[in-house]
């Protein structure tokens, strides 16, 4: 492993050095990077006083991602667990997992979380941008924002339409040798001024099991996926836009009941199908010259149905999850002796779930509903041109209602305050500090799960294991402190280049952390509240010129319970290095190396995670000639040295070496 580390680091340095030596004048323009999720309003990254990272455009496309682990799994502070089976992928930010993180797709939150089932129901080919806000975000986003917020935006007509045209089409296709994954998609889009539209049709089929670096099959990793999306936009005036979208997702596979686990008598094979439909209806209204009104209204809904038909003996499980939500957000600017910008609004969402087994109610996914209402406001006060004070508060009321007279309803309130400071000593630097409270309400399953968890040994030990409901669970809450610094400068060594870096440290004291305990001897699985602490450091840097670029990302996370034992969800320390070279304006050659340290800080009796290193290579050709404008051709080799590795705390190995090719054509 040390030898590989030396080789990969040398390759990256050599690539950067060769590129610098051959630097030539190229047309080069780096647009400013804006983020929106961090403050529910668009801001430059350098004016955003929280830990936030983005991926978009070329950086996303060059990954040729087949799932969300490949898409965003190496962003600072982020790990995607449950892999490599795409149907089991769940997010992890700083050791906060699953629904301790708010997932937003085109603005609408998606709260579904059923053990071992995954939370990503979207083809990566539809993604145009991902923003990740790390750290407590409940002041703006309410329940679930303990670890942060992942916001995913999908493509629209304006992203694909060639300049000067009103209608167009794009066809994409790709292939990955490991798993024999084929992908194909077609987009048709138009912009007639006041009206625009997009239709996306995509399919992605993993036709055989992935193969790990040791040559062994990763069982049950085949998957068929289809995704459709329709978007319609209407602009009745220059300051108003109405948009509607509808998406339909379907996947099917022979997998395991616990899709992120290994085969066993308690984890039987099932024929699984998942169907997810979602809609978004939004209205944005920002009259020119009116500082009091910058309004966004979003009404959204999701319906997910997962069907699992056991292979070994007839048994049909169906799980249905529905959600409806409404968000109203306004942004106002005024003067109170100092300039003030206020973001404030209302959020209401309702969730319901129901599980059946052979048509009868299934207590392991009990019928229940949840209602959450939140009011929030956050003000940024410009105390001087260099110094801002940010103060925010959110009030949430949530209710949980089981469809079972023997179980109690739950109703709780929560306040999520935040105080932040941002100091800009000059145009290149930002220093920031935050203290905030964040929370997560217990999920319906955590409160009300009942019935058989898994079957035991028919000869007596271990015995059958049963869920024990706990309606007395308290909401998880944390007090988080974060300190950070950012730097960004253009023209560092030559005209048009850009150097940027950021670093932040954090500490999160967590009360009532919901921990699930499986007692093999007693035959029970229970959820209970414990206290804990999570802390760490993150950093990222990038230097970009017309000819070449280099970048890096570092994540160091720690976490322990109040009993002094390490938490099981804390990811490995990780360093990523990336370098790219543009021999011509149309070409890009790149390399990405990832180094993960051994995870020895595990709970008592837990299994440690081994250190690993991988190297990925990629190349892209995006011809600029008139005849081929809008087309692209990409090739990559993932895990070049065919390393056998596991992303802690995943149970399964990741895929070994894979050759990936893709092409897209615009008409």
Q: Is the pLDDT of residue 26 over 80?
A: no
Q: How far is CA 78 from CA 90, 102, 139, 333, 557, in A?
A: 11, 13, 21, 34, 10
Q: Is the pLDDT of residue 472 over 50?
A: yes
Compute the mean pLDDT over every residue in the chain, rounded to the nearest whole number: 91
pLDDT at 163: 84
Give the pLDDT band (50/70/90) at residue 5. very low
pLDDT at 365: 83
pLDDT at 23: 43
pLDDT at 495: 87
Q: Which two tokens stand for residue 435?
A: 């203290």
DSSP states of 201-252: EEEEEE-S-EEBTTS-EETT--EEEEEEEEEEEEEEETTEEEEEEEEEEEEE
> Tens digit of pLDDT for each residue in 181-210?
999 999 999 999 999 999 999 999 999 999
pLDDT at 14: 38
Q: Is the pLDDT of residue 11 over 60?
A: no
Region 122-140 average pLDDT: 95
Q: Is the pLDDT of residue 123 over 60?
A: yes
Q: Is the pLDDT of residue 509 over 90?
A: yes
pLDDT at 29: 62
Region 313-337 average pLDDT: 95
All domains of the chain in start order, with CATH: 2-260+280-405+417-666 (2.40.170.20)
Angle subtended at Cα 221 by Cα 218 and Cα 226, rounded to the nearest 5 degrees:
165
Please state whether beta strands 101-105 and 148-154 pair in parallel, antiparallel, or not at all (unpaired): parallel
Coil, strand or helix at 304: strand
Q: Is the pLDDT of residue 458 over 80?
A: no
> Tens digit of pLDDT for each residue in 88-120?
999 999 999 888 999 999 999 998 887 778 899
Q: For residue 446, which phi and psi values (nearest 5 degrees)?
A: -65, -35
Q: Say if CB 205 and CB 223 are below 8 A apart.
A: yes
Is the backbone peptide bond immediately before 649 cis, with ω within 30 degrees of 0?
yes
């Amino acid at each position: 492993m040390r030898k590989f580390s030396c080789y990969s680091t040398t390759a990256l340095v050599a690539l950067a050095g060769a590129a610098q030596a051959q630097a030539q004048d190229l047309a080069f323009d780096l647009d400013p990077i804006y983020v929106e999720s961090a403050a529910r309003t668009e801001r430059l990254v350098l004016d955003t006083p929280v830990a936030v990272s983005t991926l978009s455009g070329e950086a996303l496309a060059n990954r040729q991602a087949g799932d969300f682990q490949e898409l965003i799994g190496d962003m600072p502070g982020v790990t995607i667990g449950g892999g490599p089976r795409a149907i089991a992928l769940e997010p992890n930010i700083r050791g906060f997992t699953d629904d301790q993180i708010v997932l937003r797709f085109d603005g609408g939150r998606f709260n579904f979380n059923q053990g071992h089932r995954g939370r990503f129901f979207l083809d990566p080919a539809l993604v145009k941008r991902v923003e990740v806000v790390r750290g407590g975000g409940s002041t703006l986003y309410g329940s679930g924002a303990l670890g942060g917020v992942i916001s995913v935006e999908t493509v629209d007509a304006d992203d694909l339409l060639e300049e000067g045209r009103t209608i167009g089409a794009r066809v994409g296709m790709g292939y990955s040798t490991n798993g024999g994954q084929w992908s194909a998609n077609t987009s048709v889009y138009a912009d007639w001024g006041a009206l625009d539209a997009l239709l996306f049709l995509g399919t992605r089929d993993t036709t055989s099991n992935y193969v790990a670096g040791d040559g062994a099959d990763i069982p049950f990793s085949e998957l068929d996926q289809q995704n459709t999306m329709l978007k319609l936009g209407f602009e009745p005036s220059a300051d108003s836009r109405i948009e509607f979208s509808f998406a339909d997702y379907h996947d099917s596979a022979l997998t395991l009941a616990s899709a992120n686990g290994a085969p066993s008598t308690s984890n039987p094979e099932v024929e699984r199908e998942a169907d997810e439909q979602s809609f978004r209806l939004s209205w944005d209204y920002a009259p020119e010259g009116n500082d009091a009104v910058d309004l966004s209204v979003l009404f959204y809904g999701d319906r997910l149905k997962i069907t699992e038909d056991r292979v070994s003996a007839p048994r049909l499980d169906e799980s249905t999850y529905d959600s409806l939500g409404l968000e109203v957000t306004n942004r106002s600017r005024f003067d109170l002796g100092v300039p003030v910008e206020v973001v404030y609004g209302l959020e209401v969402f309702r969730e319901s779930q129901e599980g059946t087994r052979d048509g009868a109610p299934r207590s392991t996914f009990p019928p229940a509903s949840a209602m959450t209402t939140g009011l929030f406001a956050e003000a940024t006060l410009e105390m001087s041109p260099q110094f801002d004070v940010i103060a925010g508060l959110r009030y949430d009321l949530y209710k949980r209602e089981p469809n079972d007279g023997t179980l109690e309803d739950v109703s709780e309130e929560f306040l999520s305050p935040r105080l932040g400071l941002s100091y800009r000593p000059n145009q290149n630097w930002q220093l920031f500090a935050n203290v905030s409270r964040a929370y997560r309400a217990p999920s319906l399953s955590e409160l009300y799960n009942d019935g058989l968890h898994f079957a035991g040994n028919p000869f007596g030990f271990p015995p059958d294991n049963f869920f024990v409901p706990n309606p007395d669970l308290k909401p998880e809450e944390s007090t988080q402190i974060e300190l950070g610094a950012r730097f960004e400068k253009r023209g560092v060594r030559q005209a048009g280049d850009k150097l940027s870096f950021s670093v932040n440290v954090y500490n999160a004291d967590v009360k009532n952390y919901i921990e699930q305990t499986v007692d093999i001897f007693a035959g029970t699985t229970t959820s209970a509240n414990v206290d804990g602490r999570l802390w760490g450091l993150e950093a990222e840097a990038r230097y970009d010129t017309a000819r070449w670029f280099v970048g890096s990302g570092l994540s160091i996370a720690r976490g322990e319970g109040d009993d002094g034992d390490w938490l099981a969800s804390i990811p490995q320390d990780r360093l990523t290095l990336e370098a790219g070279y543009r021999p011509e304006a149309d070409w890009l050659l790149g390399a990405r190396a990832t180094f993960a340290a051994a995870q020895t800080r595990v709970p008592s009796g837990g299994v440690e995670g081994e250190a690993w290193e991988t190297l990925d290579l990629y190349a892209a050709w995006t011809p600029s000639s008139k005849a081929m404008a809008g087309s692209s051709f990409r090739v990559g080799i993932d895990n070049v040295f065919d390393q056998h590795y596991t992303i802690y705390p995943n149970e399964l190995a990741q895929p070994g070496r894979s050759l990936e090719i893709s092409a897209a054509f615009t008409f």
